[in-house]
Chain A
Amino acid sequence: MSPDEPTQGGARGTVDQAATDQSPENLPAPPEGQPGSQTVRQVGERRGMFGVKGSGDTSGYGGLRAAVRHPAATARPYGGWFDEVADALEVAARDAGVERAVESVVVHRGEITFHVRADDLLVLARLLRDEPRLRFELLSSVSGVHYPADTGHELHVVHHLLSMTHNRRIRLEVAVPDTDPRLPSLVPVYPTADWHERETWDMFGVLFEGHPSLTRILMPDDWPGHPQRKDYPLGGIPVEYKGGTVPPPDQRRSYS
């Protein structure tokens, strides 16, 4: 279902390395789940050891590359009530004509994430709220995450749902491309999404279609850019104090 191929990860040139370098602790950790059987998508790359940019590599670790791969999609059975929710959702989605809505399911650290197609989000949310076997009455939170290296899926919007009836929590994750960052607003189903979506728009530039008034909420109305995107610098101005100057945070030394 996912168009992405499994990647080999960042273990470059492991074959040529000396035997000492190939000791288990020097190799990148294998992704969770059964190796080989799951699709693991690389969503980014970490470089070096100390995150220094724009100056000479004095650490000697500047050549390090580590692939960023999220926990792999989980195969059934998911365990516990996860299967119950997934079954009920599958049946309800089929009845509603959106059987392809859920692209993959990830169970990681005891939490379940449904990766959902943006187009079907609103239908799915309504099912999740109204279906007696699901009953996710409360939308706890909406937050954005920006993966600049995840080409075609740069902006992720994560919805945390809570069912008080069944005492369960699930997560819906929608990925939209940076070039067309649109997804349906959940305000018609969960009015509480109003401010959460405005914040996500403000911070990430994600367009929630159908939102009653998608305006900035935390930043001033005329603010340029969306501050929590990864391509937006932390910024700041140098501060002088008693003759010394403290550089802005993004120009200080950093450690990755």
Chain B
Amino acid sequence: MTTQEDLYAGTSETTEGRVFTVTGQDWDQIAEGLAEDAEERVVVNMGPQHPSTHGVLRLILELEGETVTEARCGIGYLHTGIEKNMEYRSWVQGVTFCTRMDYLSPFFNEATYVLGVERLLDIEADVPEKAQVMRVLLMELNRISSHLVAIATGGMEIGALTVMTIGFRERELVLDLFELITGLRMNHAFIRPGGVAQDLPAGALDEIASFVALMKKRLPEYAALCNANPIFKARLEGVGHLDLEGCLALGLTGPPLRASGYPWDLRKTQPYSGYEDYDFDVQTWDTADAYGRFRVRLAEMWESLKIVEQAAARLAGLEGAPVMVADRKIAWPSQLAIGSDGMGNSLDHIRHIMGESMEALIHHFKLVTEGFRVPEGQAYVPVESPRGELGAHVVSDGGTRPFRAHFRDPSFTNLQATSVMSEGGMVADVIVAIASIDPVMGGVDR
């Protein structure tokens, strides 16, 4: 037919009709091609490699002109078999896997898995207070960073680039705190069965205090940029509408549920990790649309800041307290320490197992290579992740490895609402609707 400049773009005839492959700005070709047949119905495959589908999400959209008549999601492009892999590693190593699932909220993945394991071990009451407070601190910092990305990428997808740049600017501060506390910016594997991996490093509380002070100045910028911005509101208001009934039927939790006016937050309704001791409010909005979800996220960041402050104040009084259960059959034998050659096992511990106690060496070897045993049974302890209810169904056969670990990821469940939120609307609104449920494909596909 025509000579192609772009090898990857062109048209072909199939039994289903004419297929166009477009990669960027060559939509004119489709318009021309369609004009010949005067056909209005177009099926568009958006993604899986598309900058505004929030990751490797494939959208199959049936269009009549610019109206979406049918929207379906294709997922699985980021499936890495994390749940299967966890069955081949010890209970402690499982944390290293599941932290990689929803990569924007790693601490929540770790927390729900660890809470399930602790319930099976029956050590929920034995986890030291400092570990609980540190978990809450990290989870709330993580909620801020995750909501920042949700708002930033959501803004970027509708062309509000300033929202993106300032969103990532602030997220960087949170990642710096993570790096200071856990040693890593993501994939921390820091929350472990029985407690957390390490004590709070020196100077962390000062850094947290200055972060909170800075955020109190910067968070109003988002409100000033977006809340009453006519373009922003015009793009978000009334888009992706899903009321309470729809949320419950489709299993939506988190900001979409709270934006429909129902104050359901597991931190309040089914507290874990000592959330009942913190003073914060559940944020709701009553419009059940993308704008409401944005406002809920914005307000939740303020609440998270409140919790971070309270947790930091409690940590100031817990200096030197243990961060791991006292049970030596569960607690990791070694604490990490910074040496002249970087971070590693503490030299005191190495001296102890190599030079002083054969039993300590055996104990270290058994616990580190083989791991501890978890009694038979199953547990499901969900947490309120930034995207909704995140739960790990943990099953043990009494061995040293998870018999089965299944994650109920809120992105996976919430993404089912794509069709309901998008059909009947414009193509451009599909992007806003999906951004408003903030799916993270690492969590969707696991």
Which residues on A are within 8 Å of B, measured CB to CB?
A: 29, 43-44, 46, 49-50, 66, 68-71, 108-111, 113, 137-141, 143-146, 158, 160, 162, 164, 167, 169, 171, 190-192, 194-196, 199, 216-220, 227-228, 234, 249-250, 254-256
Contacts and interface: CB of A to CB of B under 8 A. Distances in A.
A145 B377 contact: no
B84 A228 contact: yes
Contact of A160 (B87, B391, B403): B391
A227 B83 CA distance: 10
Contacts of A68: 376, 397-398
Contacts of B380: 111, 140-141, 160, 169, 171
Nearest to B420: A191
Interface string B433-446: 00000000000011
B76 interface: yes
Given A140-B382, A141-B393, A46 B377 contact: no
Contact of B371 (A46, A228, A255): A255
Nearest to B270: A167
Interface string B131-175: 000000000000000000000000000000000000000000000
Contact of B251 (A192, A199, A250): A192
A109 B379 contact: yes
Contacts of A145: 378, 395, 403-404, 406
Contacts of A250: 88
B369 interface: yes
Nearest to A162: B389
B90 interface: yes
Given A141-B393, A228-B84, A190 B251 contact: yes
Interface string B183-197: 000000000000000
A29 B375 CA distance: 10
Contact of B376 (A69, A195, A216): A69
Contact of A158 (B85, B376, B378, B399): B378
Given A70-B377, A167-B270, A256-B400, A192 B250 contact: yes
Contact of A195 (B85, B370, B412): B412
Contacts of A49: 370
A169 B266 CA distance: 12
Interface residues of B, number: 52
Contacts of A249: 85, 88
Contact of B83 (A194, A228, A256): A228
A220 B377 contact: no
Contacts of A256: 399-401
A46 B398 contact: yes
B270 A191 contact: no
B389 A140 contact: yes
13 contacts: A49-B370, A71-B376, A109-B120, A109-B377, A111-B379, A162-B389, A171-B378, A191-B250, A192-B251, A219-B76, A228-B84, A234-B87, A234-B88
Nearest to B119: A109
Contacts of A216: 76
A140 B250 contact: no
A186 to B, nearest CB: 11
Contacts of B88: 234, 249-250, 254
Contacts of A66: 398
A234 B251 CA distance: 31
Interface in B18-43: none
B59 to A, nearest CB: 15
Interface string B215-255: 00000000000000000000000000000000011111100
Nearest to B395: A145
Contacts of A71: 376-377
Given A68-B398, A195-B413, A218-B76, A160 B393 contact: yes
Given A66-B398, A109-B119, A191-B416, 7 more contacts: A29-B375, A109-B120, A113-B378, A158-B378, A164-B248, A234-B88, A255-B401
B79 interface: yes
Contacts of B250: 191-192
Interface string B399-411: 1110110101000
Contacts of B393: 141, 143, 158, 160
A160 B248 CA distance: 14
A218 B445 contact: yes
Given A137-B248, A192-B251, A255-B90, A109 B382 contact: no
Contacts of A70: 376-377
A123 to B, nearest CB: 19
A141 B391 contact: yes
A114 to B, nearest CB: 13
B398 A218 contact: no
A128 to B, nearest CB: 14
Contacts of A164: 248, 262, 264, 269
A191 B445 contact: no
A111 B369 CA distance: 31
Contact of B84 (A137, A191, A196, A234): A234
Given A143-B406, A160-B380, A255-B371, A192 B416 contact: yes
Interface in B342-392: 369-371, 375-380, 382, 389, 391
B122 interface: yes
A101 to B, nearest CB: 20
Nearest to B413: A192
A234 B85 contact: yes
Contacts of A143: 393, 404, 406, 408
